[in-house]
């Protein structure tokens, strides 16, 4: 068990030492994938080929070039078109249940399983 | 006893889910950013349709109580439907109509204006659609009504029809 | 014209037979020599026969383009190729429901034939529940989505099939998926019947296992087909969008995956009785719930079906009827489960199965909550939000890491008691090896986030272990090893694909060229041609590397006339280690084309690994004797 923990730590350190830079194109794609198209409403603007999506991509590109951060770009679009446009729901008062419920399910499942093991141990 | 409570809670939860889905069916599933209004109209600099000179919105949005910014294109069929209302609205002195020509060919746009009369005080061009997004529009036609302080007080997604036309008239009467 | 009536009457006959079975089966449950027990075989066969009759009439109506039929009118036209006329039969709401009914009646018949070793009352009850489902579908078909509505006067031309649905893959994707969904209904009915009769035990598990595997295999293949289609037809080279419709097909698959493991534990160790039943209920209701979410139009998705709130309402009532029916049956007969007093030890196979179920249910809950949460929020607070890929990735990827590690260790544990960890040195060596490898990969070839690196290590670990198992254990329990191996390969290929994919987007005119790493992409010429039911614009691209032509790609833009739609057909060159993907798009009022070129490594392996996964299921279905496992 100890060896395993040590391994994990070494491994984490190794992984963290790696610098994480990303160039503009990658950031642009990431942002495009996170913005939902208003014309083809099931797709991100990255996947959509509608006029709206094409223009959106240009705007995203321009905003990156003008030095806006990813978060600033999201909040710009959020103001323009509402929170709906973001595929990545923010963690706020109305969405906390969305983020926490699955974790809760996981924890409850864990407790139920643990209880089962306890019960069977008692019988031993 | 404990067992019974968990049964009840499951049943109640299911009934709750049923009603959510039931009412969810009645909501429309297409999203439109109707109620989203940017507080202030952005000061964009665009090229003039006729002279091609750079024009800023700050220079245009002066000297009137209300402004209507209308995004249009010659290839857009609903634009033809709403056009007579814009022409009619031009007669009203308390509102200035500004056109934004969206992803259009100049020749076609000129032909369109020739054919249907030009209601716009000034026309700016938006060749790549970026200006429309800065404004907060997502298609053609779309119209924004601004007050004196350049605040968006009404947003019309899609063509202006009789009902919406009357609403505009009501709005600018005050 | 006559076929319209024939199809309709065949459906009515189905309804009558169903009602007869339904009513008489209740009364004959405790009666040994009832009419039904002797004749059920024939009745079920006739019902199936009438469903076939009805479905074939619809196919013929499509083939002869009989526009007096409303379904044909809305989804076909004369100039469409014959193949798509036939596949158009189930490419629409009404026809797909009829296909669903056909498969349902077939499996009811097939189940009854192949369950002779089960107690007669349990079989009868299973058929009874099956009839409840069939009746639900029949009423729905006849009332709200009749495929045989007649239009008068007869129009001359149909409105056509959505061109993106005119695709060979999409012709077989729905039937395969429905086969999967419908077999879950057998598992559902049988588990309820077994519950009522108090028959849920290891023997029941042994008999139902086949059905679970059949359904799991078909669902796996169905999802695979859908995702291949999305890859080349929909958009720009993605194959999984976390779109509601995709999530909906994934949810029953996940709960079936849990069930596949759980039913084995029940068979071998007589544990998890109640959980098996709950999973059977969840699986089937998730399938119906998916139908509701898709067909009612409550969610919007890329994969649009014509939707109609009235239909949605019907499916909603039906869905909740089934849910409440099963919940009440469960509550009433809950105490009929065999008392479970087995001891659970930590380092055993059953623990690993429980862990598997725990994680799979978590993944399921992430997807379920992510998919329906916007509906809840909108109804309760009128706020609209979107839940997309970033959400699912954030909540699933971290949990996938321990899942993969358990998956590597679990199958090597034994039932009941184990001393596996005496061999742990070897495992740790493999573990270190996979960590080093993945760090090398992510450090020198791509920029990846920490969690992706760890995930890579975990999947590599599983990959190596399963290969080791395949070699070492040979044909002992190989179906499971193959599926696990396939899964590790799937995760691995998806990861490597996402790390190493590269792309360039540009606007190009004829004659233009762009540079992409050490390649030059040239747009050589454009060509217009007219095909049977669309206009085609082909762009010829040449990809050069060091002044040598490496390959020519010919993406297309198609302009269909009925209904008028523009689609982009990507040009894809698939090689063993990478796909080259080129797609073009028209830009409004401009002469140039919007071009996106992508190099996507290991695409082929994503499909292959999904096939390997389902291969494990197929082997399990056809495995003759039950000497394996353990």
% of residues, chain C, pLDDT over 90:
37
Q: What is the pLDDT of residues B163-174, one digit of tens each?
A: 888 888 888 876
Residue C527 lies in a domain: yes
In chain C, the number of structural domains is 4
Best of C162, C356, C369 to mutate (most A CBs within 10 Å, chain A): C369
Pairwise CA distance, residues C285 & C252, whole Å: 8
pLDDT category at A14 given cuts 50, 70, 90 is very low
* Contact (CB<8Å) C235/A43: yes
pLDDT digits (tens, 9 = 90+) for B24-38: 888 777 788 776 666
Q: Using alpha carbons, select from C483, C482, C430, C484 the residue that is nearest to residue C457.
A: C430
Q: Which of C2, C166, C4 shows the shortest CA–CA distance to C84?
A: C166
Last residue in a domain, options C147, C165, C183: C165
Chain-centroid distance, C-alpha C560: 29
What is the mean predicted confidence (pLDDT) over C322-333? 94
Which of C121, C141, C165 represents a domain boundary (last residue)? C165
For residue B139, the chain A residues in CB contact (below 8 A) are 38-39, 51-52
Say which DSSP state C599 is in: E
Return the closest-CA partner of residue A56 out of A36, A83, A26, A79. A36
Which chain B residues have any C-beta within 8 angstroms of a chain C C-beta? 7, 10-11, 14, 18, 20-27, 29-31, 75, 103-105, 108
Instruction: Determine the average pLDDT of the residues in B126-151.
Output: 87
Share of chain A above pLDDT 90, in %: 27
Q: Which residue has the tokens 């079989």?
A: C123
Q: Are residues C141 and C171 in the same domain?
A: no
- Please tell me the predicted confidence (pLDDT) of residue C15: 94
Instruction: Please tell me whether residue B89 adopts helix, strand or coil conformation.
Output: helix
Q: How far apart are CA B88 and CA B86, in angstroms?
A: 5
Q: What pLDDT band is residue A11 in, cutting at 50, 70 and 90?
A: low
Task: Evaluate if residue C23 carries a pLDDT over 80.
Answer: yes
State the pLDDT at residue A100: 94
Domain that holds residue C444: 402-501+604-622
Of C482 and C441, the structure prediction assigns the larger pLDDT to C482
Output the pLDDT for position C259.
Answer: 95
- pLDDT category at A19 given cuts 50, 70, 90 is very low
A31–C contact, CB cutoff 8 A = no
CA–CA gap between residue A20 and residue C572 (Å, rounded): 32
pLDDT tens for each residue of C108-157: 999 999 888 898 889 989 999 999 999 999 999 998 889 998 888 888 88
Q: For residue range C51-101, what is the model confidence (pLDDT) as tens digits?
A: 999 999 999 999 998 888 888 888 888 888 889 889 889 888 889 999 999
Residues in B 15-44 with any Cβ partner in A closer than 8 A: 30-33, 35-36, 38
User: To the nearest whole angstrom, how far is the Cα of B92 from the nearest Cα of chain C?
Assistant: 34
Average pLDDT, chain C: 86
pLDDT band at A121 (very low <50, low <70, confident <90, very high): low
C392 occurs within a structural domain: no
Q: What is the predicted pLDDT for the residue at C476?
A: 67
User: Between residues C339 and A29, which one has the greater pLDDT?
Assistant: A29
Checking if the pLDDT of B1 tops 60, the result is no
Same domain, C113 and C238: no
pLDDT above 60 for C163: yes
Average pLDDT over residues B109-121: 89
Do C14 and C122 lie in one domain? The reply is yes
Residue numbers in A near B20 (CB within 8 A): none
Q: C307: which chain B residues are within 8 Å (Cβ-Cβ)?
A: 29
The distance of C194 to chain A (nearest Cα, Å) reads 24
How many residues belong to chain B? 174
Tokens of B7: 């049964």
pLDDT at A10 over 80: no
State the pLDDT at residue C448: 62
Chains in contact with A, counting 3 or more C-beta pairs less than 8 Å apart as contact? B, C
In CATH, what number does B45-173 get?
Answer: 3.40.30.10
Q: Examine the domain organization and report whether C284 and C314 are in the same domain.
A: yes
What local confidence, expressed as pLDDT, does residue A1 receive? 45
Domain ranges of chain A: 22-88, 91-124
pLDDT tens string C261-308: 999 889 988 888 899 999 999 999 999 998 888 888 787 766 655 567
Say whether both C431 and C468 belong to one domain: yes
Inter-chain residue contact C589 with B30, CB threshold 8 Å: no
Confidence label for C421 from pLDDT (cuts 50, 70 and 90): low
- One domain, residues C240 and C379: yes
pTM: 0.90
Q: Are residues C255 and C187 in the same domain?
A: yes
Q: Does the structure show a pLDDT above 60 at B56?
A: yes
Average pLDDT over every residue of C215-234:
91
Provide the pLDDT for residue C130.
95
Q: Of the CATH numbers 1.10.510.10, 3.90.180.10, 2.60.40.10, 1.10.8.640, which one belongs to the domain with range A22-88?
A: 1.10.8.640
Tell whether C496 and C513 lie within a shared domain.
no
Together in a domain, C367 and C409: no
pLDDT on residue A2: 47
pLDDT at C34: 64
| Contact list, B33 vs chain A (CB under 8 Å) | 38, 80-82, 84
Distance from C-alpha of C253 to C-alpha of B107, rounded to nearest angstrom: 56
Interchain contact, C299 vs B14, CB within 8 Å:
no
In a domain, residue C70? The reply is: yes
Q: Return the minimum-mean-pLDDT range out of A63-72, C1-10, C150-159, C483-492.
A: C150-159
Q: How far apart are CA C148 and CA A85, in angstroms?
A: 41
Q: What is the arrangement of strands in the sheet containing B66-72, beginning at the earlier edge strand?
A: B54-56, B45-48, B122-126, B95-102, B66-72, B142-146, B152-157
pLDDT reading at C419 higher than 70: no
Mean pLDDT in residue range B105-109:
88
Contact list in A for residue C358 (CB cut-off 8 A) is 106, 109-110, 113
Residue C87 sits in the same domain as residue C197: no
């Amino acid at each position: 068990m100890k060896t395993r923990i040590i391994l994990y730590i070494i491994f984490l350190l190794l992984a963290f030492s790696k610098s994480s830079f990303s160039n503009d194109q990658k950031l642009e794609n990431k942002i495009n994938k996170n913005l939902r198209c208003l014309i083809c409403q099931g797709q991100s603007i990255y996947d959509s080929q509608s006029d709206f999506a094409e223009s959106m991509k240009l705007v995203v590109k321009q905003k990156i070039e003008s030095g806006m951060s990813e978060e600033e770009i999201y909040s710009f679009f959020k103001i323009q078109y509402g929170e709906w446009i973001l595929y990545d729901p923010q963690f706020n008062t109305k969405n906390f249940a969305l983020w926490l419920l699955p974790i809760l399910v996981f924890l409850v499942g864990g407790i139920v399983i643990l209880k089962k093991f306890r019960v069977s141990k008692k019988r031993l | 006893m404990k067992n019974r409570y968990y049964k009840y809670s499951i049943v109640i939860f299911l009934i709750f889910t049923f009603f959510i889905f039931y009412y969810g069916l009645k909501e429309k599933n297409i999203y439109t950013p109707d109620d989203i209004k940017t507080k202030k109209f952005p000061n964009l600099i665009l090229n003039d349709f006729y002279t091609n000179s750079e024009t800023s919105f700050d220079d245009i949005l002066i000297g009137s109580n209300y402004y209507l910014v209308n995004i249009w294109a010659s290839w857009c069929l609903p634009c033809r439907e709403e056009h007579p209302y814009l022409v009619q609205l031009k007669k009203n002195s308390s509102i200035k109509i500004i056109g934004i020509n969206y992803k259009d060919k100049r020749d076609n746009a000129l032909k369109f204006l020739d054919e249907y009369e030009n209601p716009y005080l000034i026309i700016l061009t938006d060749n790549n659609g970026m200006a429309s997004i800065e404004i907060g529009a997502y298609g053609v036609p779309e119209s924004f009504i601004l007050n004196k302080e350049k605040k968006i007080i009404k947003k019309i997604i899609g063509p202006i029809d009789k009902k919406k036309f009357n609403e505009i008239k009501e709005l600018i009467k005050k | 014209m006559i076929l319209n009536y024939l199809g309709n009457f065949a459906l009515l006959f189905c309804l009558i037979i169903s009602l007869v079975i339904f009513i008489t089966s209740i009364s004959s449950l405790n009666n040994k020599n009832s009419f039904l027990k002797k004749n059920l075989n024939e009745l079920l066969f006739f019902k199936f026969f009438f469903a076939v009759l009805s479905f074939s009439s619809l196919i013929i109506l499509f083939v002869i383009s009989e526009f007096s039929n409303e379904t044909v009118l809305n989804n076909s036209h004369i100039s469409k190729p014959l193949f798509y006329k036939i596949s158009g039969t189930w490419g629409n709401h009404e026809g797909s429901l009829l296909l669903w009914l056909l498969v349902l009646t077939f499996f009811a018949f097939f189940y009854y034939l192949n369950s002779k070793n089960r107690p007669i009352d349990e079989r009868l009850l299973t058929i009874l529940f099956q009839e409840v489902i069939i009746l639900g579908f029949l009423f729905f078909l006849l009332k709200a989505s009749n495929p045989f509505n007649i239009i008068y006067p007869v129009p001359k031309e149909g409105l056509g099939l959505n061109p993106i649905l005119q695709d060979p893959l999409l012709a077989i994707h729905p039937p395969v998926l429905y086969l999967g969904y419908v077999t879950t209904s057998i598992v559902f009915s049988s588990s309820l019947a077994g519950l009522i009769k108090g028959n849920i035990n290891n023997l029941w598990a042994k008999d139902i296992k086949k059905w679970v595997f059949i359904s799991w295999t078909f669902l796996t293949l169905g999802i695979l087909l859908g995702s291949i289609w999305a890859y080349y037809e929909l958009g720009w080279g993605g194959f999984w969008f976390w779109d509601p419709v995709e999530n909906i097909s994934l949810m029953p698959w996940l709960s079936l995956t849990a069930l596949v493991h759980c039913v084995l534990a029940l068979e071998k160790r007589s544990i998890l009785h109640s959980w098996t039943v709950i999973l059977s209920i969840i699986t089937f209701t998730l399938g119906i719930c998916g139908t509701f979410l898709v067909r009612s139009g409550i969610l919007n998705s890329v994969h649009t079906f014509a939707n109609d709130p009235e239909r949605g309402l019907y499916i909603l009532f039906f869905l909740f009827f089934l849910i409440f029916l099963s919940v009440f049956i469960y509550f009433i007969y809950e105490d009929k489960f065999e008392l479970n007093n087995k001891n659970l030890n930590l380092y055993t196979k059953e623990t690993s199965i429980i862990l598997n179920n725990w994680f799979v249910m978590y993944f399921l809950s992430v997807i379920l909550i992510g998919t329906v949460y916007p509906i809840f929020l909108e109804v309760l607070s009128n706020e609209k939000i979107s839940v997309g890929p970033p959400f699912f990735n954030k909540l699933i990827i971290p949990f996938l890491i321990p899942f993969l590690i358990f998956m590597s260790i679990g199958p090597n544990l034994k039932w009941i008691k184990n001393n596996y960890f005496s061999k742990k040195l070897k495992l740790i060596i493999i573990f270190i090896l996979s960590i080093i490898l993945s760090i090398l990969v992510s450090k020198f070839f791509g920029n990846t986030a920490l969690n992706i690196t760890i995930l890579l290590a975990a999947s590599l670990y599983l990959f190596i272990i399963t290969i080791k198992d395949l070699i070492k254990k040979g044909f002992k329990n190989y179906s499971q090893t193959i599926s696990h191996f396939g899964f590790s390969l799937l995760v691995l290929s998806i990861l490597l694909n996402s790390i190493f994919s590269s792309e360039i987007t540009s606007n190009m005119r004829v004659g233009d060229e762009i540079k992409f790493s050490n390649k030059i992409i040239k747009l050589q010429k454009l060509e217009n041609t007219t095909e049977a039911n669309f206009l085609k614009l082909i762009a010829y691209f040449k990809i050069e590397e060091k002044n040598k032509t490496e390959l020519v790609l010919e993406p297309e833009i198609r302009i269909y006339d009925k209904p008028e739609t523009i689609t982009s057909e990507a040009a894809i060159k698939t090689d063993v280690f990478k796909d080259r993907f080129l797609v073009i798009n028209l830009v409004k009022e401009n002469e140039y084309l919007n071009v996106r070129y992508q190099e996507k490594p290991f695409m082929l392996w994503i499909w292959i690994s999904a096939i390997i996964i389902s291969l494990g299921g197929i082997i399990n279905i056809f495995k003759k004797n039950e000497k394996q496992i353990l």
